[in-house]
Structure 1
Amino acid sequence: MVSLIKRKENGKIKYYLKYSSRNTSAQKYLGTAIPKDLKNQMKFFEIESYRKDKYGLLEKIHQNYLLHTQRIDKKILANEFHGFKINHTYSTQKIEGSTMTLGQTRKLLETGLSPQNTSIEDIVEAQQLGAVFDLMLSYTKDISEKLILSWHEILFEKTDTNNAGTFRRQDVQPYLGKTEYVLWDEVQEKIRSLIKWYASEKKKLNPVELSARFHNSFELIHPFIDGNGRIGR
């Protein structure tokens, strides 16, 4: 949390920003007057301080992942990824309103048997999402506009051919809250800028932070009519 601090030092009034958490604290000198862009300065100081505060935790997550994936038996690792795919598909589809249970999702992805009393669209999109997940695991190159569009096309090629693999061609409104998404004619430019940002930061930032920031920006761009959450996740 960041707060504005006012102090009297050597007969002068001075202003500081103070960040405090359970683990650390930090200060930033603002000057002898409150800056006009105080709100922005507080925001960026909080973000930067939070990053430094959590850097050790992010590094621990990253290193633990590397150690686990490098040391574990490859067959066991493949089974873990398979289990994650099933849970991911189930959870992601549930967010979108699917009525399929975790057990039904597992049976569908492992045997191809469709559950009863479930819409064809839910079944097909669950299968397609599983296929995209497998492609993601085997993909070793950088993120690109072409890649994002190709995954979206696979996800919707059987249920929404008009929009599959294309950026939205109309503006969208948020379902809840006050989130504002970019205008439809700015989507491609914003996606390309985001990919350039990723390319410039991927060797500088911790992978956990990099993926979180990319995901947040991607969802705020909201490049598709449908499937933004599924492609982003």
Structure 2
Amino acid sequence: MRDDSDFKQLDQLKSQLDAKRPLPPAVLANLREHLMLQWTYHSNAIEGNTLTLKETKVALEGITIGGKTLREHFEVVNHRDAILMVEELVSHKQPLNEWTLKSLHQLVLKNIDNENAGQYRKINVLISGATHRPPDAMHVPQAMEDFLSWSNQQAMVLHPVERAARVHGEFVKIHPFTDGNGRTARLLMNLELMKAGFPAALVLVEQRLEYYEALDKAHCTGDYSNFIALVALCVQRGFEPYWWALGLKSEEQRER
């Protein structure tokens, strides 16, 4: 467990943002649209979706991109719907439970793999490029029960940023679904962050290698320091659109 002082700067940024709440409706709407596009693009791109940022924007508007697969279009629309569900869960301070997990996953794989959407895997899987090997399929239900118990008890004493990072890491370590685990893990991570009043942490596609390496290290050694540091950096970057929208200088600009 890390000392909360490690997150002092993030807490200060949150306090500065809290002092500006409630934000003007027009600012909120603009930020929401920006977040939905960026989050959808980067989370899908990490998993191999080839739509560009602009193509993702067009797909979100319901327009089909020539030369791109139907699956890639569904991944965009599904991810948007999953974000909408996260927003709803945040507004109700919904605790993490099996229904939440499976409902988010069902949205992620809707019209892509309806048979497995929202269903724990019945087969053993390997994570391509990773050293860590997820548990045998027969152990997944118990592993998930333990994960949910931990996330609602022991994890609650952690700083929200560390808790969100570990929720992501421990979930994807189990790899409970045949597909869509990464997207679901990032949705769960941001559900925890947003419930605590922090901005969503977007792992950029450019950070994919660092992201995978930090996760694999955490899974193989139990050392989450690199992964938590990566998530903390993403949270810090998540404040930037707020300062821009509010006409305020960022922390980095203030130090120059």
Q: Tell me, which stretches of 5 or more residues in structure 1 are unaligned?
A: 1-47
The residue identity in structure 1 corresponding to 2:182 is G
Q: Higher relative contact order at CA 8 Å, sep ≥6: structure 1 or structure 2?
A: 2
Aligned to 1:77: 28
Q: Tell me, which stretches of 5 or more residues in structure 2 are unaligned?
A: 187-256
* In 1, Cα distance between equivalents of 2:27 and 2:8: 24
Bigger helix fraction: 2
1:65 deviation in Å? 2.9
The residue identity in structure 2 corresponding to 1:128 is N
Aligned CA RMSD, in angstroms, stands at 1.7
Aligned to 1:114: 64
1:63 deviation in Å? 4.5
* In 2, Cα distance between equivalents of 1:214 and 1:81: 24
Does structure 2 conserve the Cα–Cα contact (< 8 Å) formed by 1:172 and 1:181?
Answer: yes
Counterpart check, 1:126 vs 2:126: no
Q: Deviations over 1:11-41 (max 9, x none)?
A: xxxxxxxxxxxxxxxxxxxxxxxxxxxxxxx
1:186 deviation in Å? 1.1
Aligned to 2:241: none
* In 2, Cα distance between equivalents of 1:177 and 1:99: 22
1:192 deviation in Å? 1.4
The residue identity in structure 2 corresponding to 1:112 is G
* Identity in percent: 26
Bigger strand fraction: 1
Aligned to 2:168: 215
1:37-116 mapped onto 2 (5 Å cutoff): 48=1, 51-52=2-3, 55-65=4-14, 67-68=16-17, 71=21, 72-109=23-60, 111-116=61-66
Aligned counterpart for 2:137 among listed residues 184, 191, 204: 184
Q: When the two structures are aligned, how many residues end up with a matched partner?
A: 181
1:115 deviation in Å? 1.3
The residue identity in structure 2 corresponding to 1:106 is K
Aligned counterpart for 1:136 among listed residues 86, 92, 104: 86
Q: In terms of mean alpha carbon deviation, does 76-85 or 100-109 score higher? A: 76-85
Please state whether the residue corresponding to 1:76 is helix, strand or coil: helix
**TM-score, normalization by structure 1:** 0.72
Aligned to 1:171: 124
Higher gyration radius (CA): 1
